[in-house]
Structure 1
Amino acid sequence: MTTASDLQEHPLNQVHRLIEPGPVILVTTRHEGIPNVMTNGFNMMVRHEPPLIGCTIGPWDHSYAALRATDECVISIPGSELAEIVVDVGNCSGQEVDKFQTFDLTPVDAESVQAPLIAECFANIECRVVDTALVDSYDLFVLEAVKAWVDPSRTDPQMFHHRGDGTFTLDGETVDLQDRMTKWQYLL
C-alpha cells in the first residue's frame, strides 16, 4: 500500500502537466477581413446543453484582440498527423505571418461565423463568445458552439494532448463503457 512517505511532492508551477484540460486545438478568427489561426492547449468542455467550451486566450495572443472585437471564432480539432504543423503555428504570431499560407492550411467558409473552418482538421466547431466574466482575471472565454462539422472520411482520428513541457500524448485505444452509463444515457 502506498503511503504519503512514498509520494514525491510535485511543483505547483507544473500542475498543468498533470491535468492538461483537453486536446490541442486550433482557434481561428477573422478580424477586419483578415483570417488568423492560433494553437491552444488550454480548453475544456463546460456544459453539454447548451454546448459551452472554456478556452484560455490572453492578450499576449494576436487572436485575443480579434476575439474581443468579433465575439466569434472556430475551434478546429486537428489529428495527430498535423502535430508538427500545429506546434509551428503556435511558434509565430499572426501579426507577422499569414499562417494559413505559411503552413498550407485551407480556410473554409463557416456558416454561422466569419472565422474560417480548417479543411485539414477532422472537426470544426463554430463558436460565439457568451461569457467574458473571467477574461480580465483569467483570460478565460466561455464559448457556445453554434454549429459543428466533422469529416466523415476520418472515422478514427487520433487527437493529441500537450503535456505542458513540449511533449505530447496521443489518444490510444478506445474503451466502450456505454452500457455502464446508466445515469447519463441522454449523452449516448
Structure 2
Amino acid sequence: MKTLLPLADVYALLEPGPVLLLGTAHDGRANLMPLSWHCMLEFEPPLVGCVVSAANFSFAALEATGECVLNVPTVELAEQVVGCGNCSGREVDKFARFVLTAVPSAQVAPPRLAECFASLECRVADRQLVGRYNFFILEVLQAWHDPSVSAPRTLHHRGFGTFMVAGEELTLPSAMR
C-alpha cells in the first residue's frame, strides 16, 4: 500500500541523469560544483537546461561569463564529487583540494576536467528563465569523451547524500539511430 511522500522528497524520484561537475571560471579563478538538476532539451545543436542556485559561487561566474563545462564523472570520483559539493569555491580551490586536473578547453574559458570520462564545453544560449527559476539553457559547443569508456558507471543523486550507480543496460528496438 502506498503512503504519502513529503513534497520535499519528490526530487529524489525524478533526478534526470548523472551528477555532473559544472566547471566555471571568472576573474582568473576556476571552480567546480556538483550539478544534478539538468536535462537535455534538443539534439542538434545539443541544448541542456540546468538549475544553478543563485546562492552558489558558480551561479555568479556562469551569469557573468555565460560559459561553463559540464564534466561527467564516474563512480571512481564519487568522494571528490561529494567533497566539491560540501565546500564553497569562494574559500577553496577545489582543483587543488581534491587533486583534480584542469585541461584547457577549446571553445570556452573554463577548463575541462581530465579525470572525467566526458566533458561538454557550453555557452549560455538563453537566460529567459534565470531570473525566475535559476534555469540556464546551455548550447554544447564542443564535446569530448574517452572512447575506451564504453559503459560509464555514472553517479545518480537520490538526495541527502545517497547515490545510485549506473549499471545494468538494456538494449531494445528503437527508431532512433
Instruction: Name the residue aligned to 2:52.
Output: 57
Mark the runs of 5 or more structure 1 residues left unpaired by the alignment. 1-5
Moved more, 123-132 or 157-166: 157-166
| Residue of structure 2 aligned with 1:47, choices 25, 30, 42 | 42
- Amino acid paired to 1:60: A
Larger radius of gyration: 1
Moved more, 105-114 or 9-18: 9-18
Residue aligned with 1:81, SS: helix
The CA RMSD measured in Å over matched residues stands at 1.0
Structure 2 CA distance, aligned partners of 1:95 and 1:147?
Answer: 28
| Shift of residue 156, structure 1, vs aligned partner | 2.2
| Shift of residue 7, structure 1, vs aligned partner | 2.1
Instruction: Name the residue aligned to 1:72.
Output: 67
Instruction: Name the residue aligned to 1:181.
Output: 174
Equivalent pairs counted in the alignment come to 177
- Amino acid paired to 1:97: V
Alignment of 1:158-177 (within 5 A): 158-177=153-172
| Residue of structure 1 aligned with 2:31, choices 36, 44, 63 | 36
> % of aligned pairs identical?
49
Instruction: Name the residue aligned to 1:147.
Output: 142
Instruction: Name the residue aligned to 1:156.
Output: 151
| Residue of structure 2 aligned with 1:12, choices 4, 7, 15 | 7
| Shift of residue 16, structure 1, vs aligned partner | 0.2
Higher relative helix content: 1
Mark the runs of 5 or more structure 2 residues left unpaired by the alignment. none
Structure 1 CA distance, aligned partners of 2:69 and 2:140?
Answer: 9
Can you list the C-alpha shifts for 1:96-146, whole angstroms capped at 9, x where unaligned? 000001100000000000010000000000000011111111111110100
Structure 2 CA distance, aligned partners of 1:158 and 1:89?
Answer: 19
- Amino acid paired to 2:95: F
Structure 2 CA distance, aligned partners of 1:46 and 1:87?
Answer: 26
- Amino acid paired to 2:143: A
Moved more, 46-55 or 67-76: 46-55
Structure 2 CA distance, aligned partners of 1:44 and 1:86?
Answer: 19
Residue aligned with 1:143, SS: strand
Alignment of 1:73-88 (within 5 A): 73-88=68-83
Structure 1 CA distance, aligned partners of 2:148 and 2:97?
Answer: 26
